[in-house]
A and B are shown apart, each in its own frame.
Chain A
Amino acid sequence: MTGTSGSPVLEVDDLAVQFTRRGEQPTRAVDGVSFSVAPGETIGLVGESGCGKSVTSLAIMGLLPQRGVQVTGSVRLDGTELLGAGPRTLRTLRGKDMAMVFQDPLSSLNPTVTVGTQVTEVLAEHRDMTGRAAQDEATELLDRVGIPDPRRRLGEYPHQLSGGMRQRALIAMALACSPRLLIADEPTTALDVTIQAQILELLRELVQGSGTALVMITHDLGVVAGLCDRVHVMYAGRVIETADRRPLFATPRHPYTGGLLGSVPRLDTGRGTPLTPIRGSARDTIPWSQGCAFAPRCDNAEDDCLTEVSGSTVPLEADGLRRELRCRHPLHATPAAAGAPAGATAASSAGASAGSPSTGSSSWSSSEGQQS
């Protein structure tokens, strides 16, 4: 599944998005996000509303407004830098090499134009197909995403289709040019579970069949568990934990990831299984420049979760086992990985007894080095 055959389709490096509103402090919606996706791979960007996952996707697609928005870092699609690329280049790439599916299928379709016209439009734009050929291709596409009686559907308007059918039509449009990259932003959130299952199955088949790289943006851990090869958990604009699917769910290491898993009722656990909510809400964060944004809501928080030097922060560290973690006091202190990142207990007891944990040290591995 994770067979990273060849070079990655998408490489995002240190992506940051800053919104500036007149008369207000600039806010960083996305801060230092890096990840890559290989052909045929599905990655998940997971987080709650306001964590920056959707802004990340819009920044990749170059769909953020120009005014008041500052995008820095690097986004490479098959090696081509997208940030700073002209609008013409982006327009050619969008729809052809990368495509996006949005949450609300109704508002993503033009209500006054037939589905057929909207699909053939994409074909005309990117594949120079018109007339009969375009019609046939559009029929083919609708059929491929499981829309029955596709030829009739082409003549219908979006409001005549059901929610699931509209989302299929949008996926068909996104697939019109067999893009290398497909970004799906909460594609099933507005749909019922039985329809969600159909759409997820469709996405699964498409990725496996065509080698398209899929970036799945969702708040639903269940969707991620069934679909994604690799998962990036975001909080307050930053990635706080990255891992392959199985290890992430088996041993979540960031207290936020663990907290999310503990606060969702599961279908396979019965009444009386206690839920352990995360306290507070997404409002209760501190700026990353003052330490870990999650610290106010974290049960594991210790004093070194706040930094003394303003501007320094808790870094995202790799452990050499395809996991990355932005936490000084993680859950599940695994003895196997005790080499570099020692467990939570070691760190906290060291901090308590040793008197002075290297003042002002910004990186926790360096402070760890002094302790041992």
Chain B
Amino acid sequence: MSTVDQAPGDPLLRVEGLQVHFPIKRGVLFDRTVGHVKAVDGVDLSVQRGTTYGLVGESGCGKSTLGRAILRLSEPTAGRVWFDGVDVASLKGEPLRQIRRRMQMVFQDPLGSLDPRQNVESLLAEPLRAHGLGGDKAAISTRLRELLDAVGLPTAALRRYPHEFSGGQRQRIGIARAITVEPDLLIADEPVSALDVSVQAQVLNLLEELQGRLGLTYLVIAHDLAVVRHISDVVGVMYLGSLVEQAPAEELYSSPLHPYTRSLMSAVPVPDPEVEDHRERILLAGDLPSPANPPSGCRFHTRCPWRQETRCDDEVPLLREITLTPTGAGALGATPAAVRPAVGGPHLVSCHWVEEIHDGRLQPKSPEEVAASQGVSIASGDTGHGTDPLIAGVDEPVGFH
């Protein structure tokens, strides 16, 4: 905004090679570090001003840790986080506190993220006071009313305490709190997953409305692909700490290219029997491997239906730009997989065999076949199907899930 002479095309947020590793400690008298859980392991992404970047992935893929590391609520092990030209990852103390005003967070659990002892008035006024904003009592009071109005709560809410609201109303308070300090970036970590189905839409609509009204930039982190599709301009898919695919939302959903994205999308139930009965389902073998001991090469190779004998096991695929000629339909068959002029950015995929898979030159194997083949190739002698390296791969169970 006012800070730097940035060109309008510059992203508001740029993450470069971000890593967050948590040490696994063990020991009787002295804790020794016996390994690292690589929650986030080298992520690059950028979010353009006024747009929404959706980050999807299953639990344990590191998406929440990434969101927290951007806000420096978790300490990055390596990498940079450029926010409006400032490297947040290197800030300390007061400057860090100051910049947090401009980057706010909406939490998954609306009740847990509100101090049960504070009434709404105190909850909303606190961030203003912390940053010396809002002016005198009267000005703050006016501001609070505006905020409540913006999120669709009555003024009478001010005197009440978090436990007196319904889930949806609490999330509105959480959102109001995040926007009190007029941030530029809002990181929403699973903003609707704790809410009842009929209420989710209210909160999603509110987020969209606020983005339009306040020109906010969003990073929405969610496991629900439908929710992410609904509000995102660009979507990134995470698997075991890194991005496997990133594309403008429409393109990603109409022609998902990475095998993981494909199977993820084919697994999401659609509330429509017509669609459900005629869908191609790509069932994956087994579970997510442990981030403490991720597979070599392509991290997805232990579950991938398209895994090849060469490259997949030992060569880490780079996130590269893909342009493809339209051929087969996407996973959902909604729109043909057309090559679009990059609306909102290129289509990035990290897979050695994208082109071949897309052309149909490679055919997927069944989960049983994947399991069988993994049984041979995995050194530990485990069957790949359902192997849980969270236990099998590490010497001891890790308290991380």
Touch between A and B in complex, CB under 8 Å? yes
Contacts of B253 in A (CB 8 A): 267-268, 270
Interface residues of A in 275-330 (CB under 8 A from B): 275-279, 281-283, 297
Residues 220-235 of B, flagged 1 when their CB comes within 8 A of A and 0 if not, give 0001111101111100
Interface residues of B in 355-401 (CB under 8 A from A): 367, 371, 382-383, 385-388, 390-391, 397
User: Is the beta-carbon distance between A264 and B200 smaller than 8 angstroms?
Assistant: yes
Q: Select A266's contact among B59, B196, B197, B226, beta carbons within 8 Å.
A: B226
Q: Select B201's contact among A147, A225, A270, A275, beta carbons within 8 Å.
A: A275
A2, chain B: closest CB distance, angstroms:
13
User: Is the beta-carbon distance between A277 and B288 smaller than 8 angstroms?
Assistant: no
- A273 at the B interface (CB under 8 A): yes
User: Is the beta-carbon distance between A225 and B199 smaller than 8 angstroms?
Assistant: no
Contacts of B26 in A (CB 8 A): none
Shortest Cβ distance from A147 into B: residue: B386
A121 to B382, CA, bound (A): 27
A163 to B388, CA, bound (A): 10
B329, chain A: closest CB distance, angstroms:
12
Residues 185-198 of A, flagged 1 when their CB comes within 8 A of B and 0 if not, give 00000001111111
A165 to B382, CA, bound (A): 15
Interface residues of B in 45-94 (CB under 8 A from A): 58-59
B347, chain A: closest CB distance, angstroms:
16
Chain B interface mostly:
helix
Contacts of B198 in A (CB 8 A): 48, 259-260, 263, 277-278, 281-282, 297
Instruction: Give the contact stretch, choosing among A52-60, A108-116, A216-224, A350-358.
Output: A216-224
A263 to B196, CA, bound (A): 11
Whether A148 touches B230, Cβ cut-off 8 Å, given contacts A198-B284, A220-B269, A270-B249, is no
Shortest Cβ distance from A49 into B: residue: B196
User: Is the beta-carbon distance between B230 and A273 smaller than 8 angstroms?
Assistant: yes
- A146 at the B interface (CB under 8 A): yes
User: Is the beta-carbon distance between B271 and A221 smaller than 8 angstroms?
Assistant: yes
A355 to B204, CA, bound (A): 42
User: Is the beta-carbon distance between B231 and A271 smaller than 8 angstroms?
Assistant: yes
B63, chain A: closest CB distance, angstroms:
12
Instruction: Give the contact stretch, choosing among B2-10, B118-126, B183-191, B260-268.
Output: B260-268
- A81 at the B interface (CB under 8 A): no
- B169 at the A interface (CB under 8 A): yes
A330, chain B: closest CB distance, angstroms:
18
A316, chain B: closest CB distance, angstroms:
21
User: Is the beta-carbon distance between B166 and A283 smaller than 8 angstroms?
Assistant: yes
A230 to B91, CA, bound (A): 58
Instruction: Give the contact stretch, choosing among B28-36, B100-108, B142-150, B272-280.
Output: B272-280
User: Is the beta-carbon distance between A264 and B284 smaller than 8 angstroms?
Assistant: no
- B283 at the A interface (CB under 8 A): yes
- B138 at the A interface (CB under 8 A): no
- B168 at the A interface (CB under 8 A): yes
Shortest Cβ distance from A188 into B: residue: B269
- B1 at the A interface (CB under 8 A): no
A269 to B230, CA, bound (A): 8
A162 to B200, CA, bound (A): 29
- A83 at the B interface (CB under 8 A): no
Shortest Cβ distance from A297 into B: residue: B198
Q: Select B383's contact among A149, A266, A267, beta carbons within 8 Å.
A: A149
A297 to B288, CA, bound (A): 41
- B202 at the A interface (CB under 8 A): yes
Whether A268 touches B332, Cβ cut-off 8 Å, given contacts A193-B268, A275-B204, is yes
A326, chain B: closest CB distance, angstroms:
17
Whether A263 touches B201, Cβ cut-off 8 Å, given contacts A246-B273, A268-B334, A282-B166, is yes
Contacts of A48 in B (CB 8 A): 196-198
Contacts of B385 in A (CB 8 A): 146, 148
- B287 at the A interface (CB under 8 A): yes
Shortest Cβ distance from B265 into A: residue: A267
User: Is the beta-carbon distance between A222 and B270 smaller than 8 angstroms?
Assistant: yes
User: Is the beta-carbon distance between B166 and A225 smaller than 8 angstroms?
Assistant: no
Shortest Cβ distance from B290 into A: residue: A162
User: Is the beta-carbon distance between B226 and A267 smaller than 8 angstroms?
Assistant: yes
- A177 at the B interface (CB under 8 A): no
- B167 at the A interface (CB under 8 A): yes
Contacts of B196 in A (CB 8 A): 48-49, 219, 281-282
Q: Select B223's contact among A148, A192, A221, A259, beta carbons within 8 Å.
A: A192
Whether A201 touches B281, Cβ cut-off 8 Å, given contacts A162-B390, A165-B386, is yes
User: Is the beta-carbon distance between A261 and B267 smaller than 8 angstroms?
Assistant: no
- B250 at the A interface (CB under 8 A): yes
Shortest Cβ distance from A48 into B: residue: B196
> Other than the known A197-B281, A222-B271, A262-B201, what 5 A-B pairs have Cβ atoms closer than 8 Å?
A198-B283, A222-B270, A246-B274, A267-B265, A277-B199
A–B pairs, 29, beta carbons within 8 Å: A146-B385, A148-B286, A162-B288, A192-B59, A193-B264, A193-B268, A197-B267, A197-B281, A201-B283, A219-B196, A219-B197, A222-B269, A225-B269, A225-B270, A225-B275, A249-B273, A250-B273, A264-B200, A264-B271, A265-B204, A265-B229, A265-B230, A267-B229, A268-B334, A269-B229, A270-B250, A271-B229, A278-B201, A281-B167
